[in-house]
């Protein structure tokens, strides 16, 4: 079958392209905005990517069109498919029907950490010899691709709450019905489709309604927004995770499922921690130690969620902890892109105040005061551009020594107000070239520049490295 994917360079749709190709289909696609790492991955896989959304892209008469959730009515390729009666469906629906059927699905949901946690979970299963399939919303450093079918029934999927397509406004994760489900956290996001936090909680409740009774939900013990979701109805056993909880609280929090997981950090930067598995009435907890090269307490929580999920499919805690010692992270998650002129330049996907704060906190803890941190932020997500986080962004950058805000046209954020409210010295620019010139002039050897955006950021990474080297 010939599949054509509209919006193929999105991390989810690009991963679907890899799975369809592995199933033996002919795959093509089109997109208007291509940038690494997905564009590179598709090219390396020999998948044809056409530029733009021209109606002629369907001249090859594909038998099925998969429509990305960024594609709206009025898109020229979509309109031609509708006019000619070409069969179409959303990506999540295709994934559920053609890949996930008869699989033990392990889904990772939440506002933050989905990609990193999915990558950790897939790697733990791989390390344990389970050869899982997976679809991860990013390119990991432990696997050469972001998606594969796998060789066993186990399949790890990043379970996003964003809607499925122009014709299907259900959250993507509703299609997956995972048996093992991680709920990392829950905050307001995606202001372009959700009116408020309660609207997102409703979708998470819909997810709980399709989870099996023999499954497992893994979630934090300190996330009130998720507790409110569970209060709407839950039919699946829940195991909770806490940090530095007293022994008596661990017994209480074990609840009716009689298991509680407690994290004991052993290093401020998150590079070492212990995990305690408490069982009601079992005496001393089982303890496993993790030493790895990731930073930040947010990543510690992600790692523990992955360990608990992996245990549900039979991976021992000690094996999972050992696997994390060989985990090498995800591209665009505080990824060091290069060092020039003695200055380290990082690429980070952070697109929400909480993600920005945790990333900077983790880097600051790792550096221990060695070298200045400059955060360069592009408000690219629909929620950021709409100005929804106007009053929380300033606090999110307090661990930086200097902040540079990029203010594009038609941006609802008041960057001048952010500059005034932020504790670190801040600057606002309306062009990437101006930012590069400023950083090249004012950066000093030993410093660290973190470029934070969920898009290509105008190719700023290579431009900056070239300028710093010059």
Residue 97 resides in a domain: no
From CA 94, how far away is CA 106, in angstroms rounded? 17
48 and 112 in a single domain? The answer is no
* pLDDT score for 218: 97
The domain spanning residue 54 has which CATH number? 3.40.50.720
Average pLDDT of the segment spanning 385-405: 83
* pLDDT score for 191: 65
State residue 354 phi and psi, 5-degree precision. -65, -40
Residue 189 resides in a domain: yes
pLDDT tens for residues 96-131? 999 999 999 999 999 888 999 999 999 999 999 999
Residue 249 resides in a domain: yes
From CA 137, how far away is CA 131, in angstroms rounded? 19
Whether 381 shows a pLDDT value over 80: the answer reads: no
pLDDT tens for residues 227-282? 999 999 999 999 999 998 888 788 788 877 789 999 999 988 889 999 999 988 77
Give how many domains the chain has, as a whole number: 3
From residue 29, how far is each of 14, 37, 50, 68, 301 by CA, in Å? 9, 16, 6, 11, 36
141 and 264 in a single domain? The answer is yes
Confidence class for position 362, pLDDT limits 50, 70, 90: confident
Average pLDDT of the segment spanning 6-18: 92
The domain spanning residue 365 has which CATH number? 3.90.190.20
Whether 35 shows a pLDDT value over 70: the answer reads: no
**Do 225 and 196 contact (CB within 8 A), yes or no?**
no
From CA 26, how far away is CA 28, in angstroms rounded? 7
From CA 439, how far away is CA 235, in angstroms rounded? 53
Which strand (E) or helix (H) includes residue 114?
helix 114-127
Q: Quote the mean pLDDT of the chain.
A: 90
What tokens does 222 get?
Answer: 């300190």
* pLDDT score for 121: 98
Domain membership of residue 67 as a residue range? 2-90
366 and 388 in a single domain? The answer is yes
Which residues of 72-211 form beta strands (DSSP E)?
88-90, 104-109, 133-135, 147-148, 154-158, 163-165, 168-171, 180-183
Convert 65-101 to b/e letters by CB count within 10 Å (16 or more is b): bbbbbbbeeebbbbebbeeeebebbbbbbbbbebbbe
* pLDDT score for 46: 84
**Angle at which helices 114-127 and 317-324 pack, to 10 degrees?**
110
Residue 270 resides in a domain: yes
DSSP symbol at 285: P
9 and 37 in a single domain? The answer is yes
pTM exceeds 0.85 for this model: no
Residue 361 resides in a domain: yes
60 and 191 in a single domain? The answer is no
457 and 413 in a single domain? The answer is yes
* pLDDT score for 330: 81
DSSP string, 134-147: EE-SS-BSSSSSSE
130 and 188 in a single domain? The answer is yes
172 and 314 in a single domain? The answer is yes
Which residues of 159-198 form beta strands (DSSP E)?
163-165, 168-171, 180-183
* pLDDT score for 42: 86
State residue 172 phi and psi, 5-degree precision. -50, -40
259 and 348 in a single domain? The answer is no
316 and 434 in a single domain? The answer is no
């Amino acid at each position: 079958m010939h599949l054509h994917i509209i919006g193929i360079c999105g991390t989810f749709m690009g991963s679907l392209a890899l799975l369809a190709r592995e199933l033996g289909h002919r795959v093509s696609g089109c997109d208007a905005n291509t940038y690494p790492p997905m564009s590179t991955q598709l090219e390396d896989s020999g998948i044809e990517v056409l530029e733009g959304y021209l109606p002629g892209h369907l001249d090859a008469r594909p038998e099925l069109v998969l429509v990305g959730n960024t594609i709206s009515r009025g898109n020229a390729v979509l309109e031609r498919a509708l006019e000619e009666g070409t069969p179409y469906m959303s990506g999540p629906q295709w994934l559920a029907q053609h890949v996930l059927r008869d699989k033990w699905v392990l889904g990772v949901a939440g506002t933050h950490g989905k990609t990193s946690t999915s990558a950790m979970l897939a790697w733990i299963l791989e390390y344990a010899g389970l050869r899982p399939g997976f679809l991860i919303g990013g390119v990991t450093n432990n696997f050469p691709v972001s998606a594969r079918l796998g060789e066993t029934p186990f399949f790890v999927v990043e379970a996003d709450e964003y809607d499925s397509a122009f014709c299907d406004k259900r959250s993507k994760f509703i299609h997956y019905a995972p048996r093992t489900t991680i709920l990392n956290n829950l905050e307001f996001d995606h202001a372009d489709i959700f009116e408020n936090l309660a609207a997102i909680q409703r979708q998470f409740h819909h997810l709980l309604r399709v989870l099996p009774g023999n499954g497992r939900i893994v979630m934090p013990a300190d996330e009130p927004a998720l507790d409110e979701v569970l209060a709407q109805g839950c039919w699946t056993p829940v195991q909770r995770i806490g940090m530095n909880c007293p022994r008596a609280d661990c017994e209480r929090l074990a609840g009716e499922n009689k298991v509680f997981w407690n994290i004991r950090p052993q290093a401020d930067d998150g590079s070492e921690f212990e995990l305690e598995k408490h069982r009601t009435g079992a005496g001393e907890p089982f303890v496993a130690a993790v030493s790895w090269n990731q930073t930040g307490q947010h990543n510690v929580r992600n790692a523990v969620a992955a360990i608990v999920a992996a245990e549900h499919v039979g991976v021992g805690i000690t094996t999972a902890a050992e696997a994390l010692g060989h985990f090498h992270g995800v591209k665009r998650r505080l990824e060091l892109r290069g060092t020039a002129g003695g200055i380290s330049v990082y690429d980070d996907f952070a697109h929400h105040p909480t993600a920005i704060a945790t990333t900077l906190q983790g880097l600051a803890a790792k550096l221990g005061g060695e070298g200045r941190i400059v955060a360069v932020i592009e408000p690219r997500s629909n929620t950021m551009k709409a100005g929804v986080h106007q009053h929380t962004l300033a606090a999110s950058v307090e661990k930086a020594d200097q902040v540079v805000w990029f203010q594009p046209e038609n941006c609802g954020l008041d960057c001048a107000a952010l500059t005034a409210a932020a504790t670190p010295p801040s600057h606002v620019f309306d062009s990437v070239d101006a930012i590069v010139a400023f950083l090249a002039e004012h950066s000093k050897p030993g410093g660290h520049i973190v470029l934070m955006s969920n898009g290509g950021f105008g190719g700023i990474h290579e431009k900056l490295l070239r300028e710093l080297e010059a």
